[in-house]
Structure 1
């Protein structure tokens, strides 16, 4: 088996079907992950099957949330890929903070809704929210309680995990879009990448301290995602599909000539602008009234035969208006 065969094997996915124009495929390693999860609960295979279905079902709905979020803001989403570490949904969204934020936040939002549904079912069947941390024996003996508990617990974990502000997780993208209006696309992305490395280091150190290899693996995954983002930023463009690794979240976006969006004025700045606008309007109205009065006085001068026949107030006005007009011309 040469390198090309290995690459084909690494990228091999099974088509599942198409939903709302979105092609759903499953990476072959997902079945290995499902078998491993079932093996962890070999003493209770029914509960293991419930976990498998709810875990990957929730991940699928999470990715569909991204797809429909992207479509809502005018973007495109045509594929969802399920694999052991979650799902991938390559999106084509306008490179602006709001569209990217909305398409990203819709994934965790789906998990929050599913968790609330699970909690509501748990409470309706006489359960308690405290069961999410320490499920009692009632959960093990009731299929309905197992489903409700798993739906609530798994989706809370997925929502919390995805909102960690580190690439390639949704939280990293949300953090980037939050900084973007203030710091610009590129600088905000660099800050988010650094935070991703910090989070990855925290996962690895804590995982080694507690001898939790899963946390170490998560830290490595987050570090790899931050590295991919930094690599895309250095290259100055988004990696092509043929270069994208199936083991990392799809890289989002890169604007080769990022334009820093103007900051919205604050309360004081808006007050100053409004005050200046009123001053300008008052000055324009005063000048218009002065010119109208000046026309009347000049007309009177021509009718009465000279300035000497004007009243003292009219002569004073004529002098002041003439001085102001000379000042305007000199400026």
Structure 2
């Protein structure tokens, strides 16, 4: 996912450094804790098992899952020769701040490698799920429901993590809505089919607005604050793309700006973008 001006978000007030992995700086937005608190508050009417389950699931497990997803984007970015600037973990997931790729094909590769990291994660959780399920039920059947934490806490954690990875992979990869990974892939495919940047952007915007509006409406219906926030954020980033089209500067927008070449220096030198916009932030 890409958005103009995203460089400021990486080092915005309220973010704290968590160190680095493979030379990639990792930062955490303090509002991530607010999202965890909301998840925990949703379980306070239940037993302490449910509260602890929510704390684990939407705290360290979600944090690690999203971090691995973003590292997948970073690995792919380096593979195509573009620079990686850092990862931000924030309330709506994660953002990998990377340099622009050299074209739609390499951009698709970078976009796909984030969601695909959920496959090995699901395999690991599934390997833990099988003996846990057998210990509880005495057989090796598999059912999709998350176990009640009060009935079997560990099995509920494992099954919850398994579903979390499946959901994040499907949500990011299968929804053709900008700024999700699926939306980037959709826009890149339009370009590869021969459409111009403006027409591709207009189609991307139309699809993204429909999907984001649906997510927003669903969040309001379910009274799910984070779902509403995701829908609103998608609409906001899509509006930025719309503004670029309206101003005739769509090729300056990170979604349609391809300038990095293999072997490029660590700081991208794009003459048409100011320094604070020479990033592409990917979910």
TM-score normalised by L of structure 1: 0.64
Question: Cα distance, 1:230 vs. partner?
Answer: 2.2
| Distance (Å, rounded) in 1 between the aligned partners of 2:69 and 2:152 | 27
Return the index of the structure with the highest Cα Rg: 1
Aligned to 2:161: 151
Distance 1:140 1:68, change over 3 A: farther
Aligned to 1:226: 238
Q: Which protein is richer in helix relative to its size?
A: 1
Within-5 A mapping of 1:1-331: 11-42=13-44, 43-44=48-49, 45-51=51-57, 52-125=59-132, 126=134, 128-130=141-143, 132=144, 134-137=145-148, 140-163=150-173, 164-182=175-193, 183-208=195-220, 214-233=226-245, 234=247, 235-236=249-250, 237-238=252-253, 242=276, 250=281
Distance 1:197 1:241, change over 3 A: farther
Distance 1:198 1:241, change over 3 A: farther
Distance 1:148 1:12, change over 3 A: same
Q: Which has the higher relative contact order, 1 or 2, with Cα contacts under 8 A spaced 6 or more apart?
A: 2
Q: Which structure 2 segments of 5+ residues have no match? A: 1-8, 135-139, 254-272
| Distance (Å, rounded) in 1 between the aligned partners of 2:164 and 2:234 | 20
Aligned to 1:272: none
SS where residue 80 of structure 1 aligns? strand
Root-mean-square deviation (CA, aligned residues, Å) is 3.0
Listed one character per residue, the Cα deviations across residues 226-249 of structure 1 (whole Å, up to 9, x for unaligned) are: 1122234433424756579xxxx8
Is the 8 Å Cα contact of residues 27 and 83 (structure 1) preserved in structure 2? yes
Runs of 4 or more above 6 Å deviation: none
Q: Which structure 1 segments of 5+ residues have no match? A: 1-6, 253-331
